[in-house]
């Protein structure tokens, strides 16, 4: 473990921080391991032939039911990253996501974090956490995804300090651009499949950024999942990468 990750982990352990705690500290629950701290994560730390499916939710909910039905049919797990504003506008959709899958945090209002102070970043993260909790009625995961995937070492350190790992992606399918900006189902599938590899993180979206209701990622999902199976990959749940205080203690004892 490098010195940055040691420092971040030590700080979290000492403070007892968990994401969304109203006063900044509470009893420690499942949290990111040291391997997910100290930098943005664009590929999971595994050599297994598995990949993770993730979906951002920042616009409308046009593709939510289709995506959830496809995942349910195949008994596969995904992680959804709603913004706080999305959670307030579409609580039913967030509740449906959280009933079957893990929920991450995608900020409250989707700003560029590069332009924010540490205090403003914290408010964005905590407001989103409260909105997601209220909509879903469940505990969000300690995973944060930066709006626009725009990260700096300082902004990553800020979200790490709040107890979150910065989960980005290996590839974005770009389905959110829609047909009007040159995307097709075929191109969405191609972008996803080209990124396959151990620990790959695939980013998709459940809505349309253009407001036309055409969600190419939802349309392409069956073909992407067919390719996952055909190429011998499994789908891993990001929740598998969380650790508890007890498991880390046991690891330290056995080290």
> Tens digit of pLDDT for each residue in 214-235?
999 999 999 999 999 999 999 9
Place of tokens 């055909």: 230
CATH number at residue 51: 3.20.20.370
Asked which of 63-67, 107-111, 173-177, 206-210 is least confident by mean pLDDT, the reply is 206-210
Q: In whole angstroms, give the CA distance from residue 59 to residue 129.
A: 17
Per-residue pLDDT reduced to its tens digit, 137-159: 999 999 999 999 999 999 999 99
**In this predicted structure, what is the pLDDT of residue 124?**
98
Q: What is the percent of the chain where pLDDT is above 90?
A: 81
Q: In whole angstroms, give the CA distance from residue 152 to residue 185.
A: 32
Q: In whole angstroms, give the CA distance from residue 202 to residue 208.
A: 17
**In this predicted structure, what is the pLDDT of residue 234?**
98
- Alpha carbon 26 to chain centroid distance? 22
**In this predicted structure, what is the pLDDT of residue 22?**
42
Q: In whole angstroms, give the CA distance from residue 39 to residue 37.
A: 6
Which tokens belong to 100? 């079957």
Q: How far apart are the first and last CA of the chain?
A: 13
- Answer yes or no: is pLDDT of 117 > 70: yes
Q: How many domains does the chain have?
A: 1
Q: Stretch 10-31: mean pLDDT, rounded? A: 51
Range of 16's domain? 3-254
φ, ψ for residue 199 (rounded to 5)?
A: 80, 10
Which residues on adjacent β-strands are paired with residue 205?
Answer: 56
């Amino acid at each position: 473990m490098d010195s940055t990750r040691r420092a971040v982990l030590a700080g979290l352990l000492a403070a007892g921080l968990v994401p969304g705690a109203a006063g900044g500290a509470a009893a420690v629950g499942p949290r990111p391991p040291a391997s997910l701290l100290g930098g943005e994560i664009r590929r999971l730390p595994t050599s297994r032939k598995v990949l993770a499916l993730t979906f951002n939710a920042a616009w409308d909910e046009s593709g939510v039911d289709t995506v959830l039905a496809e995942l349910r049919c195949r008994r596969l797990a995904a992680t959804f990253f709603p913004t706080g504003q999305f959670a307030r506008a579409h609580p039913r959709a967030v509740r449906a996501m959280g009933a079957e899958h893990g929920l991450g945090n995608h900020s409250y209002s989707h700003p560029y974090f590069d332009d924010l102070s540490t205090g403003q970043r914290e408010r964005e993260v905590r407001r989103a956490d409260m909105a997601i909790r209220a909509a879903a009625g469940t505990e969000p995961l300690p995973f944060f995804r930066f709006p626009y995937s725009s990260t700096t070492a300082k902004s990553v350190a800020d979200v790490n300090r709040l107890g979150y790992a910065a989960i980005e992606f290996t590839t974005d399918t770009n389905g959110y651009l829609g047909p009007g900006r040159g995307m097709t189902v075929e191109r969405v599938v191609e972008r996803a499949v080209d990124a396959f590899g151990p620990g790959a993180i695939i980013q998709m979206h459940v809505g349309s950024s253009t407001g036309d209701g055409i969600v190419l990622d939802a349309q392409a999902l069956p073909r992407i999942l067919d390719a996952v199976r055909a190429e011998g990959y499994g789908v891993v749940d990001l929740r598998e990468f969380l650790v508890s205080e007890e498991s880390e203690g046991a690891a330290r004892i056995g080290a």
